[in-house]
Amino acid sequence: MTATTIEPAAGEQPAARRPRVPTLVRFLAKRIAITIGLLWGVTVVTFALVHVVPGDAATANLSEQALNDPAVVAAYRAKWGLDQPIWLQYLHYLQNLLHGDLGTSQQTGRPVLTDLVQYVPATLELAVPSMILALVIGTAVGMLAAVRHGRASDQVVRVGSLLGLSTPPFWLSLVVLYLFFYLLGVSPSGGRLSPQFAPPPSVTGMYTVDAALAGQWAAAWDAVQHLVLPVLVLTCLTVATLIRFVRSAMLEVLQQDYIRAAYAKGLPTRTVLGRHLLRAGLVPVITVSGLAFASLLSGTVLVENIFGWPGLGQYAFRSATGLDLPSILGVSLFVALVYTVVNLLVDLLYGLIDPRIRLS
Amino acid sequence: MSATPRLMRRAGIALTALALASTAAACSAGGDAGSAGGSTLTIDTSFVVKSLDPGHVYEATGNTAVHAMYDTLLTFHGSDMTKPQPDLATSYQASADAKTFTFHLRKDATFGNGDKLTADDVVFSLNRLRNLKASPSVTVANLTATKTDAYTVVVHAAKADPNVPVILTQPYTGIVNAKLVKEKGGTDGADAAKTDSAQKYLDGTSAGSGPYLLDSFDASSQLVLKANPKYWGAKPKFSRVVLRNMDVQNQKLTMSRTKGAELALDLSGTMLEGLPKTLQQSSADDTFYFLTLNADPKISKTTSNPAFVQAVRAAIDYTGVAKLFGGNASPAAGVVPPAFPGALPASEAQHQDLAKAKQLLADAGLHDPSVKLMYPSITYRGVDLGTIATKVQGDVKKAGIKLVLDPQPLTSFLNAQQSGKVAMRFSPQSLNYPVAASLVNNLAPGQGTAATTGWTVARADKAVVAAGKKVQQTLDPAAQQRALQDWQRLLNQHSPYIPMAYNSGVVVASPALSGAVYAPAGWQVDIAAVGTK
């Protein structure tokens, strides 16, 4: 994370007094400027990369027979503007982008923005509960391991988190499917809803919420059931990272003098852990949590694929294999934006958790 | 810290409660488990679809759905590919020169919105398809449709082509409601490639006269069909069909537990192993897997040497390769798969002859030849192509040939293939439409695949060129099939293609279903024909 400093020590002279723009406003303006530059960089790099990759959209999207017909290939290239020089294609893209138009997907034939509005909520529906569960479990277990440093329970937690980190997501997905769907028969096999249910009227794009809003309680419960296994897998994968990070951060804090002093003063363990250890240890944890959440939003492709979950990961995968430039750019911009916003929120949270940290 | 803090105990209790709650949720989540109750048929498949507009559709999932929504002039039933059957056309006549085909339409066909289907709709649909210049347009590039009256359509072929009736069974020749599609921006004009804008509409609503209508379509998750209440034919058994996008491994697990009306379309080859015996399986060998050796000496002096091609051909253990595909795969005899008329009999399957391979290399003065073998690093129909390539590498090594495996991502492979600069490649191949003579259009010297293999007319054996022309010029179906067999025997002697094995698509269906037959016609399964026992 960037742009954080510790405020001046007591006694230091403040800078010369003159009317100043509030710190938060300056901070936000600077971050917005950086974000715009970053997003522009993403368009340049993505545009270049897609054109460096062997093959083009026509190769990826036309039948083999059609590829042997120059008239069909030419018609395809003309339809999608691929017959223009790359620099002109890029200028057109930027021009449209400035008007809020992310282009049309060659895979779906729909505006990329429409696609994102459909697929992002599906991924959010997985990512948000996974992140909440991972945060609660990761913080609690990480703290437990730190407090019981060197004991058997600590060893178990360390081995468990190592296992979690080294487990491939698709493998874990197949294992839980095999266990809960095939062997026990207590879970649906995949998708967002069972075949007998139609998707609820779209309000948020999240089936659980939309079905509840529409009063379709059976569909809402069915949607919740379909969430369980993919959320379980994503939680397992995220919690492993968090546990290691929390444990490490808490261990560092536990060795600080003020913690020893707190114990020496006879403060109850609950007070020491809750008021001092948790607060201080959470600062670095927030950083990794932010990154983990952004990663959940952008990198769940394998899990989404196994569970037939039509989210951003699957959309990104289809776009990449189809060399669908507008969609690839749309997803890249969205992911970059997510990382930027999450970083911003993390920086703002620092100040809330530790008042000594101020924005600069 | 020495003492166990109460906070930690509470955290432990909270965690336990959380775990129990998760388990409880999971335990009560046994909802669908593949049991599509009522009159819903569930079809599990790995989606390959971009559009449901008949003018643009060409991929597996799209073809399957479009076949259920749009009637065609003719059709095939089940896995029988011998002769097209009536659909919208009750009968047809072909001119002696195979250039004019007159179709007589049924008069009771209506579209989903109640509009009557007439010759105008057929003319519009076929001409639009040609002029869109999309993937399926290539097949009808030489066809023009006109009408003689409200229920008679004449299809003209620019070149003699006895297979026009077969082409007109394909989902992309599905007849759309011309009036409706024109209202939504469709056109059959010569500039349709630039001006037609109906695809978006047809991706969301069907405008056909088939047994099903489109209810909803999401290319990432599911495609829902509902029975067409105005369908002119026999009502389909299921009022609702859900095609679900599902990973192949998940399809296997799902079908293993299914109790309802459910079928899977992607379980083939080794994926069939371990499935419950109660499940039904239907298949037909409609794909061949072949090696292609570049005939251009500028690309490779080794692969362009006919003796080398013959040596590789003799070195391969065809039976062993077929076993790797699992299921009902068999060693290849030629390039026409057994599902189609014109295939060579199984008795002519190729055999390994290492002594002959070594002798051919020695006679040609080829010592320890080495070639790079490119293939797409994909799993196709349940088989990792890398496994097959490794087997081929091991086989030819016994004859003294070194193959360096060069797996590529699919797009890179296709791109390299199109460039014509690949020395040796391996890939699956199926027919563009269900008539074996269509392979001549693609594999003959100078044509599609041949052109990317450096196999020009000038480099080809004259007998092969003549045999290919004979296939194309023979208008009688039975005689054409004999000509096809002769052509394949010559290909085995003089072409740069080495077909190794035939493999099949498979429909796996729950025990209670009937009519779940694999269709090698291009639509995998006729959804409307699926019923219950």
Residues of chain A in contact with residue B248, where contact means CB-CB under 8 angstroms, are: none
The alpha-carbon gap from B398 to the nearest alpha carbon of chain A, in Å, equals 34
- Which contiguous run of DSSP H or E holds residue B226? strand B222-227
Tens of pLDDT, residue by residue over A266-288, are: 778 778 777 777 777 777 788 88
Residues of chain A in contact with residue B31, where contact means CB-CB under 8 angstroms, are: 188, 194, 222, 225
For residue B213, the domain's CATH number is 3.40.190.10
Residue B172: CB atoms within 10 A of its CB come to 29
Q: Which of A84-88, A281-285, B329-333, B419-423 has the lowest mean pLDDT?
A: A281-285
Report the mean per-residue pLDDT for chain A. 86
Provide mean pLDDT across the span A203-222: 95
The alpha-carbon gap from A107 to the nearest alpha carbon of chain B, in Å, equals 6
Sequence spans of domains, chain A: 23-99, 113-358
Look at A147 and B8 and tell me if their CB atoms are within 8 Å.
yes
pLDDT of B33: 35
Residue B414 contacts A where some CB pair is shorter than 8 Å: yes
Tell how strand B524-525 and strand B152-157 pair up. unpaired
Q: What is the DSSP string of B457-481?
A: TTTS-HHHHHHHHHHHH--SHHHHH
Phi-psi region of B263 (alpha: psi -120 to 50; beta: other; left: phi over 0): beta
**Residues B235 and B291 grouped into a single domain:** no
pLDDT of B12: 46
Tens of pLDDT, residue by residue over B151-209, are: 999 999 999 999 999 999 999 999 999 999 999 999 999 999 999 999 999 999 999 99
Give me the residues paired with residue B94 across strands: B101
**Residues B483 and B357 grouped into a single domain:** yes
The closest alpha carbon to A190, from A217, A154, A228, A157, belongs to: A228
**Residues B107 and B179 grouped into a single domain:** yes
pLDDT of A20: 67
The Cα–Cα gap between B285 and B336 comes to 10
Given a contact cutoff of 8 angstroms between Cβ atoms, the answer to whether B136 and A63 are in contact is yes
Cβ-Cβ pairs closer than 8 A, A with B, add up to 217
Residue B134 contacts A where some CB pair is shorter than 8 Å: yes
The alpha-carbon gap from A189 to the nearest alpha carbon of chain B, in Å, equals 6
pLDDT of A196: 87
In the numeric block, the tokens 């703290």 are attached to: A143
pLDDT of A16: 54
In the numeric block, the tokens 């060998």 are attached to: B285
**Residues B350 and B437 grouped into a single domain:** yes
Work out how many domains chain B is built from and give that number. 2
Give me the residues paired with residue B225 across strands: B214, B241
Given a contact cutoff of 8 angstroms between Cβ atoms, the answer to whether B529 and B282 are in contact is no
Provide mean pLDDT across the span B506-528: 95
Q: Is A83 exposed, middle or buried (0-12, 13-18, 19+ CB in 10 A)?
A: middle
Residue B220: CB atoms within 10 A of its CB come to 22
In the numeric block, the tokens 């509840």 are attached to: A212
pLDDT of B36: 37
The Cα–Cα gap between A263 and A271 comes to 10
The Cα–Cα gap between B100 and B164 comes to 9
Q: Coil, strand or helix: which one is B505? A: strand
**Which phi and psi (to 5°) does residue B519 adopt?**
-110, 110
- Residue A314, both tokens: 């699957």
Residues of chain A in contact with residue B193, where contact means CB-CB under 8 angstroms, are: 75, 78-79
Q: How many helices (H) and strands (E) does chain A have?
A: 16, 2
Report the mean per-residue pLDDT for chain B. 91
Residue B342 pLDDT more than 70?
yes
Residue B304: pLDDT band by 50, 70, 90 thresholds? Answer: very high
* Chain A residue nearest residue B239, CA to CA: A196
CA distances in angstroms from A358 to A277, B52, B301, listed in the order given: 20, 56, 71
Provide mean pLDDT across the span A324-347: 89
Given a contact cutoff of 8 angstroms between Cβ atoms, the answer to whether A146 and A250 are in contact is yes
Residues of chain B in contact with residue A188, where contact means CB-CB under 8 angstroms, are: 29-33
**Residues B58 and B156 grouped into a single domain:** yes
pTM of the model: 0.86
* Chain A residue nearest residue B48, CA to CA: A318
Residue B346: CB atoms within 10 A of its CB come to 12
Tens of pLDDT, residue by residue over B247-301, are: 898 999 999 999 889 999 999 888 898 999 999 999 999 999 999 999 999 999 9
Residue B258 contacts A where some CB pair is shorter than 8 Å: no
Residue B515: pLDDT band by 50, 70, 90 thresholds? Answer: very high
Look at A269 and B7 and tell me if their CB atoms are within 8 Å.
yes
**B29 inside domain:** no
**Which phi and psi (to 5°) does residue A142 adopt?**
-60, -40
Residue B17 contacts A where some CB pair is shorter than 8 Å: no
Q: Which CATH number applies to A113-358? A: 1.10.3720.10
Burial B106-127 (b: 16+ CB within 10 A, else e): beebebbeebebbbebbbbbbb
Q: Which of A14-18, A192-196, B247-251, B411-415 has the lowest mean pLDDT?
A: A14-18
**B170 inside domain:** yes
Provide mean pLDDT across the span A319-340: 91
**B25 inside domain:** no
**B116 inside domain:** yes
Residue type, A191: G
- Structural domain boundaries, residue B195: 40-269+507-532
- Residue A252, both tokens: 């560092």
The alpha-carbon gap from A186 to the nearest alpha carbon of chain B, in Å, equals 4
Provide mean pLDDT across the span B491-506: 95
**Residues B398 and B494 grouped into a single domain:** yes
Indicate the residue of A59, A274, A308 with minimum beta-carbon distance to B411. A59
**Residues B345 and B203 grouped into a single domain:** no
CA distances in angstroms from A321 to A55, A332, B113, listed in the order given: 11, 15, 37
Q: Which of A4-13, A50-59, A113-122, B364-373 has the lowest mean pLDDT?
A: A4-13
pLDDT of B386: 94
Residue B30 pLDDT more than 50?
no
Tens of pLDDT, residue by residue over A34-79, are: 889 999 999 999 988 888 877 788 888 888 888 888 889 999 999 8
CA distances in angstroms from A96 to A101, B35, B521, listed in the order given: 5, 47, 43
**B474 inside domain:** yes
**Residues B308 and B261 grouped into a single domain:** no
CA distances in angstroms from B251 to A122, B178, B254, B454, listed in the order given: 22, 38, 5, 41
**Residues B254 and B294 grouped into a single domain:** no
pLDDT of B441: 87
**Residues B184 and B331 grouped into a single domain:** no
**B7 inside domain:** no
**Residues B165 and B244 grouped into a single domain:** yes
CB proximity list for B387: less than 8 A, separation 6 or greater: B324
CA distances in angstroms from A220 to A12, A194, A226, A227, B129, listed in the order given: 59, 11, 10, 11, 42
In the numeric block, the tokens 């060069």 are attached to: B406
Exposure on the CB side of residue A255, measured as CA atoms within 13 A? 7
**Residues B300 and B234 grouped into a single domain:** no
- Residue B2, both tokens: 């020495």
**B24 inside domain:** no
CB proximity list for A350: less than 8 A, separation 6 or greater: A1, A4, A283, A286, A357
Phi-psi region of B400 (alpha: psi -120 to 50; beta: other; left: phi over 0): left
